[in-house]
């Protein structure tokens, strides 16, 4: 597989429920050791009996942390989040929580999802990386082209995923959703204390547009509802970086077929089956409510119509209030947006970012302790919850108390 091909496959796997072939035998603690100085780690799903959900291959001596993000309103699917760090703590590879944004026409134009990115339109994968680089406060140096065959493979995987549902849409005489998948990579740079860092951002952006038919109003004075559309994009992001003189070795180490990330097909089927059961239960409840409504007497019909009219008017008023509140909060969201992605990864992995006030070096440490000290080498840390504890004079070397900052290094 050509260089950068592994990244593309990884992003496709994380975006679409990927398939894997044989897996190494798991060792205690969810870890399997394989040949070639590579070990296998598993990200488990606590909502499905700790079932292995995602298989990640990392260098044998690297540190690994992973968690299954269960999704939310904007991104309704689960995704693996992990960070692998070199023994010296300077190089890393991480996959961020899946990011999403939403927009549309008609009623969808006013829908607000609090856990979506503040984007209201289409954005190709390369432009999304430029937006993400600014969010992470790193310099976007250059595009790093993805091989054409990998883009074609991503599109083919998406077409194969949609094929089983094509007949259902045709039978209902409904236009099927239109989905596009694009891959992109970019070279970035930033400074970590005294180290000039070079890195690579990679993303797979999958966008789906759904067309909804209009409806004729059954209430006097209420206009017909025209047709409308909803658009939703999901982005999977891989971020890797190292000191500039170690960057080529990092890419060579991770851009191999052995380092691919695999979704567990058995977990994927279990996840889908559970969602289908939950949807069936919701449909059953809705049908039971509809049956109860049909038993209402004819004498209540006029009253019911009046109630529905009042609810509709209240709904329109609520939508308007929601829009006004959203516009008032737009400036606040814009001011805080640049810290969201990095803080989200730290929170998911129970980590925090600290800053050395003398050198400007950033470090990722456990969030279980309130105070962190780092020695003059920049590689050894001491953590405590005692505000009066001071390793200077007790431990060898000169120690500096670190400042807690956002995940991207900002105050």
What integer best gives the mean pLDDT of the chain? 80
Tens-place pLDDT, residues 38-96: 999 999 999 889 999 899 999 999 999 999 988 888 888 888 899 999 999 999 999 99
> Full-prediction pTM beyond 0.85?
no
Tens of pLDDT, residues 337-381: 556 777 878 888 888 899 999 988 888 888 888 899 999 888 888
Helix 125-136 vs helix 340-348: crossing angle, to nearest 10: 80
User: Which one is predicted more confidently, 222 or 200?
Assistant: 200
C-beta of residue 257 within 8 angstroms of C-beta of residue 6: yes
The whole-number pLDDT of residue 400 equals 92
Give the mean model confidence (pLDDT) for residues 206-229: 80
Q: Residue 308 pLDDT > 70, yes or no?
A: no
Q: Smallest Cα–Cα separation from 64: which of 30, 13, 99, 98?
A: 30
pLDDT in tens, 14-44: 543 323 323 333 333 344 434 459 999 999 9
Q: Band of the pLDDT at 300, cuts 50, 70, 90?
A: low
Between residues 121 and 334, which one has the greater pLDDT?
Answer: 121
The pLDDT of residue 2: 38
With a CB cutoff of 8 Å and minimum separation 6, the contacts of 117 are: 74, 99, 100, 101, 337
Task: Provide the pLDDT for residue 28.
Answer: 33
Domain boundaries, the chain: 5-263, 291-338, 350-405
Per DSSP, helices labelled H in 295-391 are 301-336, 340-348
């Amino acid at each position: 597989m050509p260089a950068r091909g592994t990244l593309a496959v990884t992003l496709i796997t994380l975006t679409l429920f990927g398939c894997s072939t044989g897996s190494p035998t798991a060792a205690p603690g969810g870890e399997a050791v394989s040949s070639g100085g590579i070990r296998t780690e598993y990200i488990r799903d606590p909502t499905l009996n700790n079932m292995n959900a995602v298989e990640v291959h990392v260098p044998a001596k690297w540190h690994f942390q992973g968690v299954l993000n269960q999704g939310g309103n904007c991104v309704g699917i689960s995704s693996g989040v992990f960070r692998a760090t070199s023994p010296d703590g300077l190089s890393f590879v991480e996959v961020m929580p899946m990011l999403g944004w939403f927009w549309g026409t008609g009623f969808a134009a006013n829908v607000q999802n609090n856990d979506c990115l503040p984007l209201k339109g289409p954005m190709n994968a390369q432009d999304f990386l430029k937006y993400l680089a600014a969010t992470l406060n790193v310099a976007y140096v250059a595009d790093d082209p993805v091989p054409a065959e990998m883009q074609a493979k991503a599109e083919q995987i998406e077409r194969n995923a949609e094929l089983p549902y094509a007949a259902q849409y045709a039978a209902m005489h409904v236009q099927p959703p239109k989905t596009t998948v694009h891959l992109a990579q970019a070279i970035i740079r930033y400074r970590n204390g005294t180290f000039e860092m070079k890195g690579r951002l990679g993303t797979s952006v999958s966008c789906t547009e759904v067309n909804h038919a209009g409806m004729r109003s059954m209430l006097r004075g209420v206009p017909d509802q025209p047709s409308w559309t909803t658009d939703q994009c999901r982005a999977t992001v891989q971020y890797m970086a190292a000191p500039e003189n170690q960057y080529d070795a990092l890419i060579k180490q991770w851009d191999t077929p052995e380092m691919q990330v695999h979704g567990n097909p058995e977990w994927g089927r279990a996840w889908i089956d559970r969602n289908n059961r939950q949807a069936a239960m919701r449909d059953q409840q809705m049908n039971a409510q509809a049956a109860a409504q049909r038993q209402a007497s004819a004498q209540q019909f006029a009253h019911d119509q009046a109630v529905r009219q009042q609810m509709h008017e209240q709904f329109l008023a609520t939508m308007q209030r929601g829009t006004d509140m959203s516009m008032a909060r737009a400036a606040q969201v814009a001011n805080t947006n640049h810290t969201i992605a990095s803080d989200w990864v730290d929170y998911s992995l129970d980590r925090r970012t600290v800053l050395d006030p003398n050198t400007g070096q950033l470090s990722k440490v456990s969030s279980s302790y309130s105070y962190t000290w780092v020695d003059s080498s920049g590689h050894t840390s001491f953590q405590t919850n005692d505000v009066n504890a001071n390793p200077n004079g007790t431990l060898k070397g000169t120690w500096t108390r670190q400042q807690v900052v956002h995940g991207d290094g900002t105050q």
